[in-house]
Structure 1
Amino acid sequence: MVALGPHALDLLLSLGVQPVGYGEAAQLGVKEFGSPIRQIKYLGSRVTSAPLYVGDRFKPNLELLASLKPDLIVGEDFASAAYPALNRVAPTLLFTGTHSGDWQKSLPVLARALGREDRAAAVLARSRAVTDEARAALTPWQGQRALVVWNSGGANRDLYTVLGPKDWTGGLLQDLGFRLVLPGSPDPTLAEGYRALSVEALGALDPDVVFVVASGTNTPARAASDWKASALAQRLRASRAGRVYFMPIQLVGRIRGPIATELTTREIRRQLGAR
């Protein structure tokens, strides 16, 4: 099997399948093309097969892929332009994984292709249990008005993309009992976000709690530094109460499967002190 991206890898690992090849997000700048990839963020400890790095998850090296002779290639529909070429190398499944509830639909499909339906049922049951347990631990936070945003830093450090309930991250936080703060109607030009707002516009929303996802090549530390340096951001009630939390996009926005659900839920509980 080849996993094109962390989302595909999450799905395969959750079903007990180890890949022979792996494609990573280009933003991470992995340079180990054609060699065993050992540094897979958040999922690497679960990988025992030393998969070869095949390049960009959306534009992998087809020659290298063919040399691995995979039985199946698993990826996301971002790679749809490459689907005909990928499918000539091996049967290929490309899933939509960015939205809340996507992996729960994709996992049974992949499990049927692999003959692992029982494993999929167990994974789904465990994920529901993890979410239920976390929601109970987060009882003091139930109904809190939460603003969930991406921020790429740099020249766009004062621009925040608000995430709604259809987004994987926003949907997870809503499942945990938070009430998402949304600014009017969604922007149809944003494929995955809800609406992009300036830091000034965030003031009108005045949420109880803010979750900032450091997107692109941004980091939680840089996002936190930019937030603390913004006088406008510091006026928000959440800032004054010390209820602004910073998280990495790789964990809470790129993996988006059952393992990521558990790891992200654990990180949210840790940061909120709800262990």
Structure 2
Amino acid sequence: MVLTVKLVLLLACSLTTAATAATYPLTINHFSGETTLRKPPARTVALGPHALDLLLSLGVQPVGYGEAAQLSVNNYGSPIRQIRYLGSRVKGTPVNVGDRFKPNLEVVASLKPDLIVGENYASDSYTALNKIAPTVLLHGIHSGDWQKNIVTLAQALNREGQAKAVIARHARILAGARTAIPAQLRGKKALVVWNAGGASRNLYTILGPKDWTGGFFENLGFKLELPARRDTTLTDGYAQISSEALSSLNPDAVFVIASSKNTVAQAARDWKANALAQTLRASRQGHVYFLDVQLFSRIRGPIAEELMVQELLRQLR
């Protein structure tokens, strides 16, 4: 579902009906249930880049941070270098708490947090985390999720005014981006895929409108190119196809996101070496673009979307 500027602004405006100051104890409803905060949170742990993006957007600096295990990051003493894309906005030195899905509980406890924020991926750790501090787990993989999640966090943190401003600013950024896309691609058909490289270099996962990344491109005015025979998994935002099936599509532009441990450079080399991929109109016209999964899939928040807009416009020009 496309989030138009009008709808996003309506969501932002709905926050104005909230009280100017939260009253604690405060119970927050979230993906894994209900969490009660006894006092305004002052020490927050962010489990993953999605949570970090939302917290930073609300002006909150975390004392702990957990990242995707596959990035093999062992020390967050220098966040500007080691927390990709978000590090320059981190002013402190958040302690590494390990894998965002299964964080080190002893390290988390040692930080004495009064709020832990993560995603539903950490559900197996929810009970243990909730014993350490009030824990809020969010579902952030679908289009429009971060706008809902930032409202939930704003209630917990008594920062509803900041959430309203973030949502309104994001609507303006998207509106400007839609008009800044070059005329030859504006409103055209776009194929958005993940590609993991290696043994899977000839397999592509198509991202549909329900997926957060697919929805992002749709919100920019692109018409998503989807397979004629809808795989049932596309109802959740995804469908996997082979190179042979890929060549039957006819997008005006292709956006290849180097997923898993693939790199942008390797994804570009694999695409150029794929004879079937080269038959696509987008390939022949030079409208294939290669993107990093960390920015275009893992963070999924307002800061990431602003950086994504900047990167896309840089490449499209």
What's the TM-score once normalised by structure 1's chain length? 0.95
| 2:73 paired residue number | 30
> Does the 8 Å contact 1:98/1:192 carry over to 2?
no
Q: Distance in 1 between matches of 2:306 and 2:316?
A: 15
State which of 142, 145, 155 in structure 2 corresponds to 1:99.
142
Match of 2:62 among 10, 14, 19: 19
Cα distance in 2 between the residues matched to 1:187 and 1:58: 28
Residue 84 (structure 1) aligned to one of 127, 132, 155: 127
Cα displacement (A) at 1:36:
2.8
The equivalent of 1:200 in structure 2 is 244
1:147-162 superposed matches below 5 A: 147-162=191-206
Report deviation, 1:176.
0.6
Q: Distance in 1 between matches of 2:167 and 2:186?
A: 23
* Runs of 4+ that moved beyond 2 A: 35-38, 184-193
Q: Structure 1 residue 118 and structure 2 residue 168: aligned?
A: no
Q: CA deviation at 1:187?
A: 3.6
- How do 1:51-90 residues align onto structure 2 when only pairs under 5 Å count? 51-90=94-133
Shift of 1:193: 4.5
- 5+ residue gaps, structure 2, are 1-43
Q: 2:66 touches 2:96 (CA, 8 Å); kept in 1?
A: yes
- 1:31 Cα deviation (Å)? 2.2
* Correspondence 1:4 to 2:47: yes
Classify the secondary structure of the residue corresponding to 1:107. helix
Residue 37 of structure 1 deviates from its aligned partner by 5.1
Q: Tell me, in whole angstroms, the C-alpha distance in 2 between the residues paired with 1:192 and 1:49.
A: 37
Alpha-carbon distance, 1:143 to partner: 2.2
1:116 and 1:223 map into 2 onto residues whose CA distance is 41
Corresponding residue of 1:169: 213
The match for 2:178 is 135
SS of 2:192's equivalent in the other structure is: strand
| Farther off after superposition, 177-186 or 81-90 | 177-186
Unmatched runs of 5 consecutive residues or more in structure 1: none
Letter in 1 for 2:174: T
| Amino acid corresponding to residue 69 of structure 1 in structure 2 | K
Q: Percent identity?
A: 64
SS at match of 1:270: helix
Shift of 1:29: 1.0
Paired residue total: 271
Structure-1 residue corresponding to 2:273? 229
Aligned mates of 2:142, 2:231 — CA distance in 1: 16
The root-mean-square deviation of aligned C-alpha atoms, in Å, is 1.4
What's the secondary structure of 2:241's corresponding residue? strand
- Kept in 2: contact 1:100–1:167 (CA 8 A): yes
CA distance in 1 between partners of 2:85 and 2:233 (Å): 31
C-alpha displacement at 1:184, in angstroms?
A: 3.5
Candidates 300, 303, 311, aligned match of 1:259:
303
Pair 76,190 (structure 1): closer, same or farther in 2 beyond 3 Å: farther
Between the aligned partners of 1:119 and 1:142, the Cα distance in structure 2 is: 32
Q: Judge which range, 191-200 or 256-265, deviates more.
A: 191-200
* Conserved 8 A contact 2:51-2:119: yes
- In the TM superposition, 1:178-197 aligns within 5 A as 178-184=222-228, 186-189=230-233, 193-197=237-241
Deviations 1:172-229 (A, max 9, x none): 1111110001113554457965210011111111211000000001111000000001
Q: Distance in 2 between matches of 1:120 and 1:186?
A: 37
Are the counterparts in 2 of residues 75 and 93 from structure 1 also a CA contact under 8 Å?
A: yes
